[in-house]
C-alpha cells in the first residue's frame, strides 16, 4: 500500500501544516472527531501523541494532556480502534508519537502490525537511539511501510545531522530550541541561522517544531522548511474551546 506521508512530501513542498494532539484528550472519544475535523480544516499531516506519564521530551502542556487522557481511561488498544474508525473516511497522513517503553510493553511486533493495519503512516519515538533503531527496528518498520522520523536539535553536530538524514525515512523534525516542547513566541536570528545550516546539510523534507503557535511563527518557519508542526498551542486551544475551536484555529494559522 502507498504511504500517505511519502505521497504528501512528493506533491507538496511548502507550507505543510502538521498538527500534534494527544489521543484521548480532552475527552476519551475526541480522537476520531479531532482527526476528521483537522483534515476537513486543512491540516496536511496529523501527529497523534500516545499519552504517557513519563514523557521526557514534552513540556507541561503536553504532559498535562497526557495525564488527563490516562485518567480518561486511555489504552493503546482503544487508540488503534479509534484510528481504524477515523480511517473509514479520513485520508490525511497519520503519525504516532510515543516512547520506547510503550512499544516494548505492548510488544513491538504487535504494535507495528497494528499500526499498519489501522492505517498509521509513520512513527516518532524521541527516546529511541539511532543505533538501536538501525539494529532492531529499521527493517521491521520498512516491512510494514511505516516511515520513521528523527529529531534534530540546535546542539546536534553536522556529522550526526547527516547520519540522521540518511537514516530517516520520513521527514526530519527540526526542533527549534534545545528545550522541551512548549509554546514560546517568536523566532530569533540564532534560530534562523540554525535552520539555514540544516538546509545545507540534508536532503529529507524537514518540518520545524517547538514554539510554533500562530500565523506569524508558522509563516516564518515555512520560509526555512517545507512546513511546521504545532503541538502545545493547539492543545491549549483545545483545552479552552474543545473540538468546536479547531476550524477557527487552523484558519487563523493559515492566515
Partner 1 sequence: MAMVNAANMPDVNGYFGEYGGSFVPPQLQVILDEITAEYLKTKDDPEFQKEMAYYQKHYVGRPSPVFFCERLTAKIGGAKIYLKREDLNHTGAHKINHCIGEALLAKRLGKTKIIAETGAGQHGVALATVAALLGLECEIHMGEVDIAKEHPNVVRMQILGATVVPVTHGLKTLKEAVDSAFEAYLKDPVTQLYAIGSVVGPHPFPMMVRDFQQIIGEEAKVQFEELTGTLPDNIVACVGGGSNAMGLFTAFLNDESVAIYGVEPAGHGVEIAGKHAATITKGTPGMIHGFKCYMLQDENGEPSPVHSVASGLDYPGVGPQHSYLHDLKRVNYTHIDDTDAIDAFFELSRSEGIIPAIESSHAVAFAMKLAKELPSDQTILVNLSGRGDKDIDFVVENFGKKYGI
Instruction: State the residues that interact with partner 1 by CB under 8 A.
Output: 52-54, 56-57, 59, 67, 70, 74-76, 99-102, 104-106, 126-129, 131-132, 150-157, 175, 178-180
Residue 182 and residue 117: Cα distance in Å, rounded? 32
Q: 156: how many CB neighbours lie within 10 A of its CB? A: 19
Is 58 a catalytic site residue? yes
Minimum distance, C-beta of residue 25 to partner 1, in the bound complex (Å): 15
Which DSSP letter does residue 245 get?
Answer: G
Exposed/middle/buried for residue 180 (C-beta within 10 Å: 0-12, 13-18, 19+): middle
Minimum distance, C-beta of residue 160 to partner 1, in the bound complex (Å): 8
Pairing state between β 172-175 and 122-124? unpaired
Cα atoms in the Cβ-side hemisphere of radius 13 Å centred on 113: 5
Nearer to partner 1, 33 or 102 (CB): 102
Is 158 a catalytic site residue? no
Q: Dihedral, CA atoms, 142, 6, 183, 27, nearest 10 degrees?
A: -70
Residue 101 and residue 107: Cα distance in Å, rounded? 9
Residue 159 and residue 201: Cα distance in Å, rounded? 9
Nearer to partner 1, 129 or 248 (CB): 129
Find the catalytic residue in 30, 44, 47, 226: 47
- Report whether the peptide linkage leading into residue 43 is cis, meaning its omega lies within 30 degrees of zero: no
Minimum distance, C-beta of residue 19 to partner 1, in the bound complex (Å): 20
Residue 98 and residue 55: Cα distance in Å, rounded? 8
Nearer to partner 1, 57 or 116 (CB): 57
Minimum distance, C-beta of residue 39 to partner 1, in the bound complex (Å): 27
Return the H-helix or E-strand segment holding 228.
Answer: strand 227-230
Nearer to partner 1, 36 or 126 (CB): 126
Minimum distance, C-beta of residue 55 to partner 1, in the bound complex (Å): 9
Find the catalytic residue in 58, 159, 165, 190: 58
Nearer to partner 1, 31 or 156 (CB): 156
Catalytic residues: 47, 58
Amino acid at each position: 500500500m502507498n504511504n500517505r506521508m511519502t505521497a504528501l512530501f512528493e506533491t507538496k513542498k511548502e507550507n505543510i501544516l502538521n498538527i500534534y494532539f494527544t489521543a484521548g484528550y480532552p475527552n476519551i472519544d475526541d480522537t476520531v472527531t479531532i482527526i476528521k475535523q483537522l483534515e476537513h480544516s486543512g491540516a496536511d499531516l496529523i501527529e497523534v501523541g500516545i499519552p504517557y506519564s513519563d514523557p521526557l521530551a514534552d513540556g507541561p502542556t503536553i504532559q498535562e494532556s497526557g495525564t488527563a487522557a490516562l485518567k480518561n481511561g486511555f489504552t493503546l488498544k482503544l487508540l488503534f480502534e479509534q484510528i481504524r474508525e477515523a480511517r473509514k473516511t479520513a485520508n490525511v497522513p497519520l503519525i504516532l508519537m510515543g516512547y520506547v517503553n510503550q512499544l516494548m510493553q505492548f510488544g513491538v511486533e504487535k504494535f507495528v502490525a497494528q499500526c499498519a493495519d489501522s492505517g498509521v503512516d509513520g512513527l516518532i519515538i524521541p527516546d529511541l537511539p539511532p543505533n538501536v533503531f538501525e539494529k532492531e527496528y529499521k527493517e521491521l518498520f520498512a516491512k510494514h511501510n511505516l516511515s520513521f522520523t528523527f529529531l534534530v536539535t540546535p546542539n546536534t553536530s553536522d556529522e550526526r545531522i547527516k547520519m540522521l538524514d540518511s537514516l530517516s525515512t520520513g521527514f526530519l523534525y527540526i526542533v527549534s530550541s534545545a528545550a522541551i516542547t512548549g509554546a514560546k513566541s517568536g523566532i530569533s536570528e540564532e534560530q534562523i541561522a540554525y535552520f539555514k545550516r540544516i538546509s545545507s546539510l540534508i536532503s529529507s523534507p524537514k518540518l520545524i517544531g517547538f514554539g510554533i503557535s500562530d500565523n506569524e511563527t508558522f509563516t516564518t518557519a515555512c520560509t526555512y522548511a517545507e512546513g511546521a508542526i504545532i503541538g502545545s498551542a493547539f492543545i491549549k486551544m483545545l483545552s479552552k474551546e474543545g473540538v468546536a475551536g479547531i476550524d477557527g484555529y487552523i484558519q487563523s494559522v493559515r492566515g
